[in-house]
Amino acid sequence: MRYNGFMIISVEDLTKTYPETKALDHLSFSLKRGEILGFLGSNGAGKTTAIHILLGLLTPTSGNVSVLGLSPLTQRHELSKRINFGSAYANLPSNLKVIENLNIFSGLYNVKNKIDKIASLLELFEIAHLKNRVTGALSSGEKTRLNLAKCLLNDPEVLLLDEPTASLDPEMADKVRSTLKNIQKQRNMSIIYTSHNMPEVEQICDRILFIHQGKKITEGTPDQVIKNFNSLNLEQVFIKIVRSGDIVCPSP
């Protein structure tokens, strides 16, 4: 797989097998520069497994993976400087202050001008007034915005977000989505976005990839996928895929 500066992530025939299950079954997909790819599927479909492989946290059984032309397994250190990851389930230390957490990760990512950088991110996510608050005392929405601020400390070229708006109320989720979309446009950043909130996916993602039981079921723009499944919206597509198991809809 060659990195041409345009194809940011390239995954070919990716398989991950555990003794009793096949978490990923010959999955192939790609991500272009400046694109937001929605990674969809039911619980246990293989989304997190794929993301962990892209982050170098998991060794695949077979297949090829390239992120920014680098292997997450053998070039994890170089790659980690250029990507970042945020999840509703990966917290920053709750016993430290907001500013302390951001200072620590600025150090880990060797951020230049970290004071300015942190200040601008705190402003961007409207949490500057919370910088001296202990992280554990923040609301879910505030924690999510802090996690996103941490994700952007190193100006990543690729951002992997695992259900970033889970646990947020609709208003806050909308705010977070808008901010993310703006930043993504400004920086031409590539994002892989997993969510179970289908209207959110329709709103934010340029392209979606449905996986079920580790296999790719379909991919395309939200409109194309909805049309191909003769559905009214992505939620209907999601239910059809999960309930009918292995149906395969050819990608347009």
Partner 1 sequence: MSESLTRIRAMLYRYLCLHKRSLPRTFEIVFWPVMELLVWGFVSVYIQSVSGNTLLTLAASLINAMIFWDLLYRSQQSVSISIIEDIWTQNIVNVLISPLKIWEWLLATFIYGMTKTLLITLILGSIAFGLYHFSLIDKLGFYLIPLMANLLIFGWALGVLTSSLVIRWGHAAEALIWGVPYLIQPVSAIFYPLSILPKWLKPIAMALPSTYVFEGMRAIIQENRMRYDYLWMALGLNLIYFIVAGFVFNFMYLSARNTGRLGRLGMD
Q: Toward partner 1, which CB reaches closer, 13 or 100?
A: 100
Residue in 234, 202, 232 with CA at minimum distance from that of residue 218: 234
Q: Which of 10, 30, 49, 190 binds partner 1 (CB under 8 A)?
A: 49
Q: Minimal distance in Å, beta carbon 85 to partner 1?
A: 5
In degrees and rounded to multiples of 5, residue 139 shows phi and psi of: -75, 170
Q: How is residue 206 written in tokens?
A: 């340029």
Q: Toward partner 1, which CB reaches closer, 49 or 66?
A: 49
Q: What is the dihedral of CA 97, 87, 38, 62, to 10 degrees?
A: 140
Q: Which of 26, 33, 81, 133 binds partner 1 (CB under 8 A)?
A: 81
In degrees and rounded to multiples of 5, residue 112 shows phi and psi of: -80, 150
Q: Toward partner 1, which CB reaches closer, 59 or 113?
A: 59
Q: Is 55 in the site for partner 1 (CB under 8 A)?
A: yes
Q: Which of 10, 30, 66, 106 binds partner 1 (CB under 8 A)?
A: 106
Of 48-56, 191-199, 219-227, 234-242, the segment contacting partner 1 by CB under 8 A is 48-56
Strand order in the sheet with 207-212: 83-87, 158-162, 190-194, 36-40, 207-212, 215-220
**Alpha carbon of 127 to those of 8, 46, 95, 144: distances in Å?**
31, 33, 17, 11
Of 57-65, 185-193, 206-214, 238-246, the segment contacting partner 1 by CB under 8 A is 57-65
Contact present, 127 and 145 (Cβ < 8 Å): yes
Size of the site for partner 1 (CB under 8 A): 38
Which spans of this chain sit near partner 1 (rule: CB under 8 A)?
16, 18, 23, 48-49, 52, 55-59, 77, 80-81, 83-85, 87, 89-97, 100, 103-110, 134, 150
